[in-house]
Amino acid sequence: MRLWPDTLAGRTLALLVGATLLMMISSAILVQDERKARFDEHNLFRTLQRVATLTRLLSDADDQERSRIIQRVTEEGEQISLEETPWVSHPPRHPMEKKIARHIGRTTGIRDHSAIRVRVDFDGRDKHHRGEDQLRFRAGKGLKTINISILLWDDLWINFRTIDFKDAPPWANATLQGLLILLALLVVIGLLIARRMARPMAQLADAAERFGLGQPQSPIPEEGPREVRQTIHAFNLMQQRLQKQISDRSRMLAAVSHDLRTPITTLRLRAEYIDDQEMREKTLATLTEMEAILSDTLSFARDEAADEQARTTDLAALLQSLIDDHADLGGDANYQGPERFNFICRPVSLRRALNNLIDNALKYGETVVASLTTRPDRVTIHIDDNGPGIPDDQLEAVLTPFFRLEASRSRETGGTGLGLAVANSIILAHGGELTLANRPEGGLRVTLALNLSEKQHNK
């Protein structure tokens, strides 16, 4: 199972959502921490306000009223009493105790600091771990209880102890729902943005693939981020220049072809008037050879595969028809593979390449087997013969133009050294690869590997 998306839009969305989730979780932790601190401060402030209010009420009340007041104001987790001895035996020492004492003094109007005693009990931690200017504390996380003793005018001590501090309430449902709605909106917006950002790149990839297959291609709209626009602009310029170069070369080759064929035809006519029959036949043979070389050279240089438009073709039927044609002419040729397989290609040029390869195999071997195998991402064609093969150090050289193995491929056999070069050029124009290898049992194996386009993947 792939967790990391494979597309640009998916990765952009994953990074956006992941970063946002991390930010939201971190913010929630910080907010919750600050929220607890504010809640604890509120609890402490409320406690001190109640102590100050209680002190003022008890100062003006008689004994009977004092008992009723203490009974009514005492809450769960608190202890309040009016005694002659204080529960806190010493004045404030810790900065927090002093801060609480000063706050009660300001609130109650008691100016005698010795009349207010505070003791803060911690749960085993160093009680000096908090700063002098902080009143904040966390229930159960350092502070255990607060003990306060205040001397009244009649020498009685109000003793107050609280041991139960309320925790901050959990996140409200509305807050959680709001976060979930925010996350959902972020995913939707992020998906739209990511797809909009990735669309120009997808168009560029599709255009490059179709341009490589020779399909008609208009300039791509230059849209998206600046870097993408620059890439698309460069691709459009490259496409225009290549198309212009191909057009100029085709016109030039057409002119060269016309200019050379005219004098050859003239020489052929003049050769007919040569009285010596042997000389006439040799001259005509030389002119025929020159015309064949010129035709093959111009055909190779013209790169017909670049001019032909690609279309869906039954590759299996095309290969079978070539094998049948050679078998009808007396060759021992066989086909192995599926009966049908649709493939986007330039059928005329690809047929020419396959025909050259089968011709070579039958010319230098007695039998030929052409096999077609398919995979989800590519199609492979093997052409095997039982001929003499090719020396290993010349397997790559025979793919270059005008290279001939004189020991087995001579001019008399009709070879000009362009058959394999033409086939290799056509396969390369299809975005494929042509390789040669000697078979262990003898003979040569020619392998054509052609990649399937994305459209064919989806079929």
Predicted local distance difference test score (pLDDT) of residue 451: 84
252 falls within a domain: yes
Whether residue 123 is found in the same domain as residue 230: no
Please enumerate in sequence order all residues whose Cβ is within 8 A of that of 322, keeping only pairs 6 or more positions apart, or say none.
351, 354, 355, 358, 370
Whether residue 296 is found in the same domain as residue 315: no
182 falls within a domain: no
Whether residue 292 is found in the same domain as residue 313: no
Measured CA to CA in angstroms, residue 219 lies from 204, 224, 225 at distances of: 10, 15, 18
Q: Give average pLDDT by consecutive 10-residue segment, the chain, 459 residues.
A: 64 76 75 69 81 86 86 84 89 86 87 87 49 41 73 88 65 68 80 78 79 70 81 87 75 73 83 85 83 69 62 92 91 92 88 90 90 91 92 86 58 62 84 90 92 60
Query: Cβ(138)–Cβ(40) under 8 Å?
Result: yes
Whether residue 292 is found in the same domain as residue 322: no
Predicted local distance difference test score (pLDDT) of residue 393: 87
195 falls within a domain: no
Predicted local distance difference test score (pLDDT) of residue 303: 57
Report the DSSP pairing between strands 332-336 and 367-374: parallel
What is the number of structural domains in the chain? 3
| CATH number, position 442 | 3.30.565.10
Measured CA to CA in angstroms, residue 197 lies from 182, 226, 291 at distances of: 22, 11, 56
Measured CA to CA, the distance from residue 53 to residue 8 in angstroms comes to 66
Whether residue 13 is found in the same domain as residue 156: yes
385 falls within a domain: yes
Whether residue 295 is found in the same domain as residue 324: no
Nearest CA to 198 out of 455, 451, 15, 1 is that of 15
| Domain stop point among 285, 302, 319 | 302
Q: If you search the block for the tokens 């003499």, which residue do you land on? A: 388
Nearest CA to 145 out of 132, 158, 160 is that of 160
> 429 — phi, psi (to 5°)?
-65, -25
Enter the tokens of residue 425. 């050029």
Nearest CA to 48 out of 98, 91, 96, 107 is that of 107
| Domain stop point among 129, 147, 162 | 162
Whether residue 372 is found in the same domain as residue 403: yes
Query: Cβ(405)–Cβ(390) under 8 Å?
Result: yes
Whether residue 141 is found in the same domain as residue 29: yes
Edge-to-edge order in the sheet of strand 157-162: 78-83, 157-162, 143-151, 116-122
Nearest CA to 336 out of 366, 391, 374, 301 is that of 374
Q: If you search the block for the tokens 């396969």, which residue do you land on? A: 427
Query: Cβ(88)–Cβ(119) under 8 Å?
Result: yes
363 falls within a domain: yes
> 212 — phi, psi (to 5°)?
-65, -30
Report the DSSP pairing between strands 78-83 and 157-162: antiparallel
Query: Cβ(190)–Cβ(13) under 8 Å?
Result: yes
Predicted local distance difference test score (pLDDT) of residue 9: 67
| Domain stop point among 272, 302, 332 | 302
Query: Cβ(337)–Cβ(314) under 8 Å?
Result: no
Predicted local distance difference test score (pLDDT) of residue 275: 84
Whether residue 130 is found in the same domain as residue 245: no
Please enumerate in sequence order all residues whose Cβ is within 8 A of that of 312, keeping only pairs 6 or more positions apart, or say none.
342, 343, 344
451 falls within a domain: yes
Predicted local distance difference test score (pLDDT) of residue 1: 46
Whether residue 42 is found in the same domain as residue 135: yes
The SS3 of residue 358 is helix
| CATH number, position 261 | 1.10.287.130
Whether residue 421 is found in the same domain as residue 435: yes
Count the alpha carbons within 13 Å of 216 in the hemisphere toward its beta carbon: 0
Measured CA to CA, the distance from residue 140 to residue 163 in angstroms comes to 10
Measured CA to CA, the distance from residue 370 to residue 382 in angstroms comes to 6
Nearest CA to 159 out of 47, 53, 55 is that of 55
Measured CA to CA, the distance from residue 197 to residue 107 in angstroms comes to 63
Residues spanned by the domain of 406: 308-457
Determine the angle formed by the axes of helices 347-364 and 315-328, rounding to 10 degrees.
40
Enter the tokens of residue 129. 């771990």
Whether residue 372 is found in the same domain as residue 338: yes
188 falls within a domain: no
328 falls within a domain: yes
